[in-house]
A and B are shown apart, each in its own frame.
Chain A
Amino acid sequence: MAGLAATLGSGAMTNSMREFKDSDMFFIVGSNTTENHPVIGYYVKQALAKGAKLIVADPRRIDLVDDATYWLQQRNGTDIALINGMMNVIISEGLEDKEYIQNRTENYEAFKENVLKYDLKKVEKITGVPADLIRKAAIEYAKADKAALLYCMGITQHITGTNNVKSLVNLQLLTGNIGKYGAGINPLRGQSNVQGACDMGGLVNVFPAYQPVTNPDVRKKFEELWGVENLDDKIGLTVVEMFNAADEGKVKAIYIMGENPVLSDPNSNHITHAIENLDLFIVQDIMLTETAQLATVVFPAPSFAEKDGTVSNTSRRVQRVRKAIDPPGEVRQDYDITHELAKRMGYPNLSPGTPEQIFEEIRKCTPSYAGITYKRLENGGVQWPCPNEDHPGTAILHKEKFVRGLALFSVCEHLEPAELPDKEYPFILSTGRILYQFHTSSMSGNSQVLNEKAPENYIEIHPKDATRLNIKGGEFVKVRSRRGELTVKALISNRPFKGGVFLPWHYADSAANLLTIDALDPIAKIPEYKVAAVAIEKI
């Protein structure tokens, strides 16, 4: 999101998902769309059936490769070089959108100078993708009318994550594909309300609607609304940083609502150790997750079916969640639990009452949500920005003008991943999701159908590597990294490349994050889940 916000002025998906049915061209990079966002996968395939073209850039042979016009199998962590190579072709062939660049962007010359350094010979050497394939794909991409770019964690979960995103922005600006129906730059959000959690200020540097905590006028506004003084003016600690601080004894208490960092965060041994170092660890969840088992105090929370409220989807559409059943036992609403804590700490007015009343307070301080009301949401969702009640909502961002004014071309240089394979750890490990499980499986792991379809973990190994190590399908293997080890069943598969392995991270009994590295992108602070060096051993 940091990459999008810096270059365009808004860190969200620019277009609406149903537009993809009418796109002419797709560039899907670092997104296993059909497994992780299946319904968007349906729309992509509907467009392909009507004649649209598809470029997939992924080290792994995901299902969409079968439907792709071009498959660029880049080496893990070489996306910037690959995109720069494609843009080099587009500029050299004179296929860039000159009018769009002239009227709507800035910093083009510096960007161009850098891209021209990435000739295809160099790019082929870095990425492993044949130069001719890059050239053909780039030319066809630049010639398309409505080219939609879809990306996901395969782009962001690298130490170069922010620059990876900026590279993708460069490509869409160069081809004039932002602010247009059926095109755009589209990060696919992985959870039901990642977008909303960001919009609501669940981030270390911003209040709701991305208003910076470092701005005194903004702080004053929130101090008045909340009836408090001296709001913190410093940027806070991000998820990985707060556990590091706990490890060092600087953070003494952590309060977690509905997250499971012991499974979801990189280098879990380190997270567990940090938690043990805390004086107070509060977990609020629907299940006794691996994280909750370590808590000082656990608050039972309602599931989605037991609450009223709103969530914001990946297309910025604010939609209702409605209570369908009563929660079990003594479960209390999340906002009510937090409110009760605040009351006991001398702040009696944290929550104004019902979810609708809370939403009314949100509207007062969140300009992009100001025009949305529960009444309007009865007739379907509304896409922000929606500044007033007469505004229909915004399907496509940056249509006439970028939120930032002019869009910014960025200079992005290739940088090797933090940890590369070597003699001791010869394989590249990527972690990710599968269709039938979700995140740390605290929801999907308690579903009968999903568990029947995907009961246990596996590691995907290329047949040639399996033969060399004398590993048969279904056998248990030991996987080791510098940070931890686990045993898991081997799945011999043509999906990973030779020398690469893929491990789903949903399963607690072979938790992928025992192995992953906590190297972070310096700006977005996202860990590099897609590249870690591991060794595989037959047991």
Chain B
Amino acid sequence: MSEEALVNLTIDDKKISVPQGTTILNAALQNGIKIPHLCYHVKTGQASLCRVCVVEVEGMAGLQTACSVLAKKDMVVHATTERTLAVRRMIVELLLSNGHHNCIACERNGNCELQDAAYMLGIETPSYPIYDKKMPLDESSPGIVYDPNKCIQCFRCIKGCNNVVFNRVLEMGWRSNHSVVICDDDMPMGESTCVQCGECVQLCPVGALTEKLAIGKGRSYEMKTVQTTCPYCGVGCQMELHVKDNEIVRVYGVEGDTDNEGSLCVKGRFGLDFVSSPNRLTKPLLRKNGKLEEVSWDEALDFTASKLLEIKNEYGSGAIAGLTSAKCTNEENYIFQKFMRAVIKTNNVDHCARL
């Protein structure tokens, strides 16, 4: 973006400049001015549904949604005023009173945008009577649970499913207070065409869509997060592992400037529990009398090294071959081929790129 494409404006007495085409919301967020917002997400774009992001703009009548109005030259915005705060409070209180927004046992406690908005606005309990919809949960799919009682109908999941990953499964069904996110023509998720990529789970601002296998395994603030690369295909999705008690509890795609822009597929998001499988090998094994038996590292290594030397001396280096791995790191592959070439003295080293 070139210099002349910048616009200068004022938000809450702070003079800022942003590239042309930036919304007031993003201009504020990029400059450290907090405006709560529930339906806007960078991947699904503006929605102007929740209206929690309302601001006052000088010269414009009524309140404006910051997520949909573009920053203009010399614009003066008042984001935090008595009027905007009162409206935001009312909206958040209405959302909290509609459905089942009890944080105590919610999987998203500590990682919930509605909870954050309520905290920011100082709401402990809503002033309106709570309408508990008592709608049934959809637990029919292997990876995802949908709780319509926690849904705030922000449409992020629907937009993600239809406009980001194009699985075209989710839609808003029924009317008004009965509105609920449905799969296909109102099928249980487990019987629908949903492929469990989990884009919707990551986009959900509240606890309406959560990871089934993570239930009860820890609160978000107890997790250690580690950024790494997915072990499956060659796309190399960047992922954030949420770890507690030496177990991967949930997986988020890393949003922003990554090759996957926060998206994952079913394997990356829900297929990493193999690392904790009881089938993992834990000790070296050596074949004795036809059977593989657990042995010490020293025994396994000594046996193997002496046998390799014996074969090399008797039959030559060409009688030994190795397969390195497309699932191992560059460092491991480098060391393996160096071993075959420098120690065994053979170029008989290949891997499964051909398969």
Instruction: List residues of A whose CB falls within 8 A of some B CB.
Output: 1, 16-18, 36-42, 45-46, 49, 156, 188-205, 207-208, 213, 222, 226, 228, 230-232, 234-240, 242, 245-246, 250-259, 261, 264-265, 279-280, 282, 285-288, 292-293, 295-301, 303-307, 309-315, 317-326, 328-335, 337-342, 344-345, 347, 350-351, 355, 358-359, 361-362, 380-381, 435-436, 438, 442-450, 452-453, 524-527, 529
- Chain A residues near B258: list those with CB within 8 A: 380-381
B16 proximal to A (CB < 8 A): no
Contacts A322-B227, A351-B335; A447 near B281 (Cβ below 8 A): no
- Chain A residues near B142: list those with CB within 8 A: 448-449, 452-453
- Chain B residues near A199: list those with CB within 8 A: 330
Segment among B121-129, B178-186, B315-323 that sits at the interface with chain A = B315-323
Closest 10 A/B residue pairs (Cβ)? A329-B282, A313-B236, A189-B234, A309-B329, A258-B325, A236-B347, A344-B305, A38-B265, A300-B281, A446-B274
Besides A298-B284, A306-B275, A347-B342, 15 more A-B contacts (Cβ < 8 Å) are A1-B353, A40-B235, A192-B229, A193-B326, A202-B337, A205-B347, A250-B319, A253-B308, A255-B340, A295-B285, A305-B275, A337-B301, A446-B274, A447-B273, A449-B271
Whether the pair B343, A350 counts as a contact (CB closer than 8 A) is yes
- Chain B residues near A298: list those with CB within 8 A: 281, 284-286, 292
- Chain A residues near B260: list those with CB within 8 A: 39
Q: Total A-B pairs in contact (CB under 8 Å)?
A: 459
- Chain A residues near B354: list those with CB within 8 A: 156, 238-240, 524-527
Whether the pair A288, B265 counts as a contact (CB closer than 8 A) is no
Complex CA–CA separation, A258 to B49 (angstroms)? 50
Closest CB in chain B relative to A447 CB, distance in Å? 4
Sample of 15 A–B contacts (CB below 8 Å): A190-B233, A191-B327, A191-B352, A202-B353, A251-B319, A252-B315, A280-B308, A288-B281, A311-B236, A335-B335, A347-B343, A381-B236, A444-B267, A446-B277, A526-B355
Whether the pair B321, A17 counts as a contact (CB closer than 8 A) is no
Of all chain B residues, the one with the shortest Cβ separation from A304 is B231
Contacts A314-B234, A319-B238, A350-B342; A255 near B320 (Cβ below 8 A): yes
B230 proximal to A (CB < 8 A): yes
- Chain B residues near A188: list those with CB within 8 A: 233-234
Contact of B234 among A191, A321, A326, A445 (CB under 8 A): A191
Whether the pair A202, B236 counts as a contact (CB closer than 8 A) is no
Of all chain A residues, the one with the shortest Cβ separation from B300 is A297
Complex CA–CA separation, A242 to B286 (angstroms)? 23
Whether the pair B335, A287 counts as a contact (CB closer than 8 A) is no
Contact of A42 among B165, B350, B352 (CB under 8 A): B165
- Chain B residues near A257: list those with CB within 8 A: 322-325, 328, 332, 336
Of all chain A residues, the one with the shortest Cβ separation from B334 is A200
Whether the pair A295, B287 counts as a contact (CB closer than 8 A) is yes
Complex CA–CA separation, A287 to B59 (angstroms)? 67
A interface footprint on B138-178 (CB within 8 Å = 1, 0 otherwise): 00001100000000000000000001111000000000000
- Chain B residues near A314: list those with CB within 8 A: 233-236
Whether the pair A341, B228 counts as a contact (CB closer than 8 A) is no
Contacts A201-B334, A298-B284; A251 near B341 (Cβ below 8 A): no
Whether the pair B347, A192 counts as a contact (CB closer than 8 A) is no
Instruction: List residues of B whose CB falls within 8 A of some A CB.
Output: 142-143, 163-166, 195-197, 212-213, 224, 226-238, 241, 243, 246-248, 257-261, 263-267, 270-275, 277, 279-287, 292, 297, 300-309, 311, 315, 317-343, 345-355
Contacts A192-B234, A295-B292; A359 near B279 (Cβ below 8 A): no
Contact of A258 among B233, B237, B257, B327 (CB under 8 A): B327
Closest CB in chain B relative to A137 CB, distance in Å? 22
Whether the pair B347, A196 counts as a contact (CB closer than 8 A) is no
Complex CA–CA separation, A36 to B266 (angstroms)? 11
Of all chain B residues, the one with the shortest Cβ separation from A300 is B281
Contact of B355 among A208, A222, A239 (CB under 8 A): A239
Complex CA–CA separation, A362 to B335 (angstroms)? 9
Contact of A264 among B277, B332, B355 (CB under 8 A): B355
Complex CA–CA separation, A198 to B333 (angstroms)? 9
Contact of A265 among B164, B285, B355 (CB under 8 A): B355
Contacts A350-B338, A350-B342, A447-B270; A252 near B326 (Cβ below 8 A): no
Closest CB in chain A relative to B352 CB, distance in Å? 5
Whether the pair B351, A202 counts as a contact (CB closer than 8 A) is yes
Contacts A257-B332, A358-B331; A203 near B166 (Cβ below 8 A): no
Closest CB in chain B relative to A186 CB, distance in Å? 11
- Chain A residues near B328: list those with CB within 8 A: 193, 197, 257-258, 334
Whether the pair A321, B300 counts as a contact (CB closer than 8 A) is no
Contacts A1-B353, A286-B280; A447 near B271 (Cβ below 8 A): yes
Closest CB in chain A relative to B201 CB, distance in Å? 12
Whether the pair B243, A324 counts as a contact (CB closer than 8 A) is yes
- Chain B residues near A253: list those with CB within 8 A: 307-308, 311, 319-321
